[in-house]
Amino acid sequence: GKVPAGNILASAPSDKNLESWRELGCRTTHCNLEVVQRSTLVFLATKPHVLPGVLEEIRPAVGSHHIVVSLVAGVTIQTLQKLLPPWTKVLRLMPNLPCVVQAGAMVFSRGSSAGDEESALLRALLSSCGLCEEVPESYLDIHTGLSGSGVAYVYLFAEALAEGAVKMGMPGALAGRIAAQTLLGAAKMLLETGEHPAKLRGDVCTPGGTTIHALHQLEKGALRATVMNAVEAATNRAADMAKR
């Protein structure tokens, strides 16, 4: 409810995706320039290889009142500032998928001309979609590894949990819902109690009980190291892609 749909204008070369925007009540166009001319806050959400062309296209219409927020993976603030007029207020944002359900995790960093006002505006706007924090640009790739891709790790874990339950005799649909709720509940406890995860884990482990037996299996499988490897791999890949 932060922005009325009518105040949002989205552009795309074809109508393929624009229909869903119109259903939300947004206005649409095929003209990128129009978006820039009629908006103060402009989000760049193209694929990386398309962006340079788009920036060249909109550059003449970009002024000092604009706030340009790039969601484009791998395109650095330095590159953005190079392709836009100097003194353009540029910020770079990395969201993640659950923004859709307003439980996102987003980080952003600002370019040289973006100030506290722009930062505050963005944070105020995006907190409606979930957690939103300003960070140094070097954290953006790490965020990709942790949370951008991280969502997929969680889906994998949820699937595996459910599969274990199915193996033990529970119907799949039920197992899936319980797996998801378990993750949701655990995450909520983490966020709301502010306790260290190791402490919360210990709280669940009664001596000689089921949980500690299960955890031993996870440790035997070096789950921790594997997860660390995953975050590292995704972060490195993001950095590699940015270099190209």
Partner 1 sequence: MSVGFIGAGQLAFALARGFTAAGVLAAHKITASSPDTDLPTVSRLRKMGVNFTVSNKDTVKSSDVLFLAVKPPIIPFILEEVGPDIEARHIVVSCAAGVTINSIEKKLCTFCPTPKVIRCMTNTPVIVREGATVYATGTHADVEDGKLLEQLMASVGFCTEVEEDLIDAVTGLSGSGPAYAFTALDALADGGVKMGLPRRLAVRLGAQALLGAAKMLLESEQHPGQLKDNVCSPGGATIHALHFLESGGFRSLLINAVEASCIRTRELQHLADQEKISPAAIKKTLLDKVKLESPSLSVASAGKVSLFTNKSKKN
CA 231 → CA 32, 65, 149, 220, 239, distances in Å?
A: 35, 38, 8, 20, 12
Question: Considering only residues 15, 216, 233, 240, which one is a binding residue for partner 1 as defined by CB under 8 A?
Answer: 216
Nearer to partner 1 by C-beta: 160 or 200? 200
Burial environment of residue 199 by CB neighbours within 10 A (0 to 12, 13 to 18, 19 or more): exposed
Please report whether residue 222 would count as binding partner 1 according to CB under 8 A: yes
Residues contacting residue 53 through CB under 8 Å, at least 6 positions apart: none
Question: Considering only residues 196, 209, 211, 236, which one is a binding residue for partner 1 as defined by CB under 8 A?
Answer: 196
Query: Smallest distance, Å, CB 225 to partner 1?
Result: 4
Q: Give 146's Cβ-side CA count (13 Å radius).
A: 11
Phi-psi region of 29 (alpha: psi -120 to 50; beta: other; left: phi over 0): beta
Please state, in angstroms and rounded to a whole number, the distance separating the CA atoms of residues 1 and 20.
Answer: 18
Tell me how many residues contact partner 1 (CB under 8 A): 13
Nearer to partner 1 by C-beta: 59 or 201? 201
Please report whether residue 225 would count as binding partner 1 according to CB under 8 A: yes
Please report whether residue 82 would count as binding partner 1 according to CB under 8 A: no
Residue 32 is assigned to a ligand binding site: yes
Here the tokens at position 76 are 């650095």
Residue 197 is assigned to a ligand binding site: no
Applying CB under 8 A, which part among 21-29, 74-82, 152-160, 195-203 lies near partner 1?
195-203
Query: Smallest distance, Å, CB 149 to partner 1?
Result: 18
Please state, in angstroms and rounded to a whole number, the distance separating the CA atoms of residues 181 and 188.
Answer: 10
- As a 3-state breakdown, the chain gives helix, strand, coil percent values, each rounded to 5, of 60, 15, 30
Nearer to partner 1 by C-beta: 6 or 208? 208
Please report whether residue 224 would count as binding partner 1 according to CB under 8 A: yes
Please report whether residue 206 would count as binding partner 1 according to CB under 8 A: no
Please report whether residue 228 would count as binding partner 1 according to CB under 8 A: yes
Residues contacting residue 238 through CB under 8 Å, at least 6 positions apart: 73, 74, 140, 141, 144, 145, 148
Residue 48 is assigned to a ligand binding site: yes
Question: Considering only residues 47, 65, 167, 220, which one is a binding residue for partner 1 as defined by CB under 8 A?
Answer: 220
Nearer to partner 1 by C-beta: 120 or 214? 214
Question: Considering only residues 24, 101, 191, 198, which one is a binding residue for partner 1 as defined by CB under 8 A?
Answer: 198
Applying CB under 8 A, which part among 66-74, 94-102, 118-126, 218-226 lies near partner 1?
218-226
Count Cβ atoms below 10 Å from residue 220 Cβ, excluding itself.
8
Please state, in angstroms and rounded to a whole number, the distance separating the CA atoms of residues 145 and 231.
Answer: 5
The contact set with partner 1 (CB under 8 A) reads 196-199, 202, 216, 219-220, 222, 224-225, 228-229
